[in-house]
Structure 1
């Protein structure tokens, strides 16, 4: 057992990162509104996550550099390099700010289950006190740089919630044939496009590609550990995906379609925990929210640091300024009157739209012989990668048309 925990690597952290408040919310809404119909989108997301995260892990392990550093180093033209850096920075900062708002809103959902009426009025605005409290807690942990112990504790709570959903999915006694049909027979009911984008966005998180490439080289040493890194990734992502599928299955058992708060989401846990389900879910949502509220700004800071070759580590002023900006934007978006579930849905859709940009850069860099040599992508890996990028492009374009032109 000691050896098992010793070999747990970044894959587990990546899986824990995408099983956050956004995953719980989006998967619950997907199950409530569409039953098992969109399970195929989650299966697609799991496969896409494994393919892309393997590329990121291989890149970081073999080169010893993150994704942003490799992209910057491989572009010779100053103009093209600046455009690429601008695209990466825009995608990560915008995506992480939206994701951060979703993380904080998830924590708010958890707290609002136990404590009601957290709104104060200031200068004509409705301000949610919980978002400010969560933001301050995240700020303190990030500023001190001593968040690992607390993060492990919170991830433990998220894991407990995930196990609960797995058991609950079994207890609801779903129709196995219907579940398998939903997983492997793609269908798109009316008004389901944005939900599909949300499911992809909550699983294949763009900033996780940067985070994985940066973390993997700290856990293992070079190509000799590539097999261990892949094993860690495959097990972690598949288990995380099964939890997401279980949440959809649980939610499909909910007869009431009016899901608007944590108490409603807790109905997915009632078969296992009864009246205590809302309290258990509140702890899990708060845990997921605050954990991700720490991770998202950090990932953005690492990306910006890599793009501009900053030195000085986590406690440098430049590094801190980046995560402070992302954190403040997240607090603002989550505190000025928007409904938490609407923010979380927007965050996942934003991630789904930004994903093709980051995946495109990743696919390009892992095909460079000057970067990976004999460990560059194989033909089968490229086919999978191209299919994923094309699929995310189509889904992203469709979601934009739906939002702006109602097409």
Structure 2
């Protein structure tokens, strides 16, 4: 048992990063509107995430470099390199700044269920104290700059989140046969296409590919460590996918169309299953919010450092400057209840374009013997990689269609 815990690596951090308030909300809406019928989309997302994140982890361990560092050095054409760096910085750094407010707000929604809604009035502004508290917690953990401490805290929060959503799903007493049908028999209609795309899009996250490659080299330094990284990746992502499925299952128990978010789900469960179900869900939402509030600025700092050739040491001034900027914006938008809609729309567009671009770059790099030697992709890994690339292109088109109201889907 001690050996298992010793070899827990960045996997739980990646799971923590993709299960944020956005994922919780999308999974809630999937369950409320379509019952168990879209569980297959989550299963597909988990498989795609495991394949891409394994590639990212393998790249980080074998090369001992981050993905953004390798893109900067391997793309030789100056125009293409410039475009790639601008796109990556826009989507990850600006995008994470926009989403950070949502991450912190998600954690706040969880805490509000337990402690109420404390606000301070300063002139015409009302500042939410809980947003500041969550921002301060994230700041302290990131500023200490200890990877081991960060890992332990996030693993603990992921365990709390997993138990909270698992217990909530069990409380709703789902029909196991219906759950398995939803999981293994794909069904979708025109009404559910955007929800399916949303489920895949919140699980296969572009910034996690950068974060994973950067974090594995903090934990492991030898090629022989690859087996630990693979086990860590598979277990953590499957666990994260199970959490998402539990949210869909919990939401499917609510026979109401007035559920638009996870906080509505908490209220909807209370009359059916008692007040304790609301508290389990609140703890899960808090853990989902704060883990994403920590990993989003961290990912942005790694990406900016790799793209611009800076040191990726957790204690370097430039590295700290990037995550502080992201965190400050998140706290500001969240505590003053400002909704940065235009920035979020921009981030959606940039992320929509970025996913197939990064998946393409990753597959290309994973086939370079000069970087990976005998650890480059084999035929089976390439086949799965290209299938996922095709799905990511579809996802990209659908995201652009949604943002610009093109009605392609």
Please indicate the TM-score interval, normalised by the length of the shorter structure. 0.7 to 0.9
Q: 1:264 to 1:187 in 2, by over 3 A?
A: same
Cα distance, 1:354 vs. partner?
3.7
- Tell me the equivalent position of 2:394: 394
How far apart are the structure 1 equivalents of 2:353 and 2:187?
21
TM-score by length of 2: 0.87
Q: Which runs of 5+ in 2 are unaligned?
A: none
Cα distance, 1:267 vs. partner?
5.3
Alpha carbons 1:202, 1:351 under 8 Å: kept:
no
- Tell me the equivalent position of 1:138: 138
- Tell me the equivalent position of 1:34: 34
CA deviation vs aligned residue, 1:28-63 (integer Å, no higher than 9, x gap): 221111111211211111011011001001111111
CA deviation vs aligned residue, 1:300-349 (integer Å, no higher than 9, x gap): 11111112221372333221221122223323443454679xx9999889
- Tell me the equivalent position of 2:174: 174
Alpha carbons 2:165, 2:281 under 8 Å: kept:
no
Q: 1:131 to 1:195 in 2, by over 3 A?
A: farther
TM-score by length of 1: 0.88
Tell me the SS of whatever aligns to 2:189.
coil
Q: 1:311 to 1:401 in 2, by over 3 A?
A: closer
Q: In the alignment, is residue 241 of structure 1 matched against residue 241 of structure 2?
A: yes
- Tell me the equivalent position of 2:379: 379
Cα distance, 1:289 vs. partner?
1.6
How far apart are the structure 1 equivalents of 2:159 and 2:238?
14
Query: Matches of residues 7-406 of structure 1 in structure 2 within 5 Å?
Result: 7-118=7-118, 128-145=128-145, 149=149, 152-153=152-153, 155-260=155-260, 263-266=263-266, 274-311=274-311, 313-337=313-337, 351=351, 354-405=354-405
How far apart are the structure 1 equivalents of 2:268 and 2:205?
24
How far apart are the structure 2 equivalents of 1:151 and 1:157?
10
Cα distance, 1:355 vs. partner?
2.2
Cα distance, 1:269 vs. partner?
6.1
Tell me the SS of whatever aligns to 1:313.
coil
CA deviation vs aligned residue, 1:272-297 (integer Å, no higher than 9, x gap): 97212323332332233222212211
How far apart are the structure 2 equivalents of 1:122 and 1:346?
31
How far apart are the structure 1 equivalents of 2:254 and 2:197?
22
Q: 1:71 to 1:267 in 2, by over 3 A?
A: same
How far apart are the structure 2 equivalents of 1:142 and 1:309?
21
Alpha carbons 2:118, 2:129 under 8 Å: kept:
yes
How far apart are the structure 2 equivalents of 1:282 and 1:349?
31
Q: How many residues align?
A: 407
How far apart are the structure 2 equivalents of 1:299 and 1:64?
17
**Once structures 1 and 2 are overlaid, which stretch shifts more, 231-240 or 123-132?**
123-132
Alpha carbons 1:201, 1:351 under 8 Å: kept:
no
Alpha carbons 1:95, 1:354 under 8 Å: kept:
no
Q: 1:184 to 1:193 in 2, by over 3 A?
A: same
State the Cα RMSD in Å: 3.2
Tell me the SS of whatever aligns to 1:291.
helix
How far apart are the structure 2 equivalents of 1:241 and 1:348?
22
Cα distance, 1:109 vs. partner?
0.9
**Once structures 1 and 2 are overlaid, which stretch shifts more, 120-129 or 248-257?**
120-129
Q: Which runs of 5+ in 1 are unaligned?
A: none
How far apart are the structure 2 equivalents of 1:225 and 1:214?
15
Q: 1:189 to 1:120 in 2, by over 3 A?
A: farther
Q: 1:17 to 1:269 in 2, by over 3 A?
A: farther
**Once structures 1 and 2 are overlaid, which stretch shifts more, 35-44 or 319-328?**
319-328
**Once structures 1 and 2 are overlaid, which stretch shifts more, 19-28 or 250-259?**
19-28
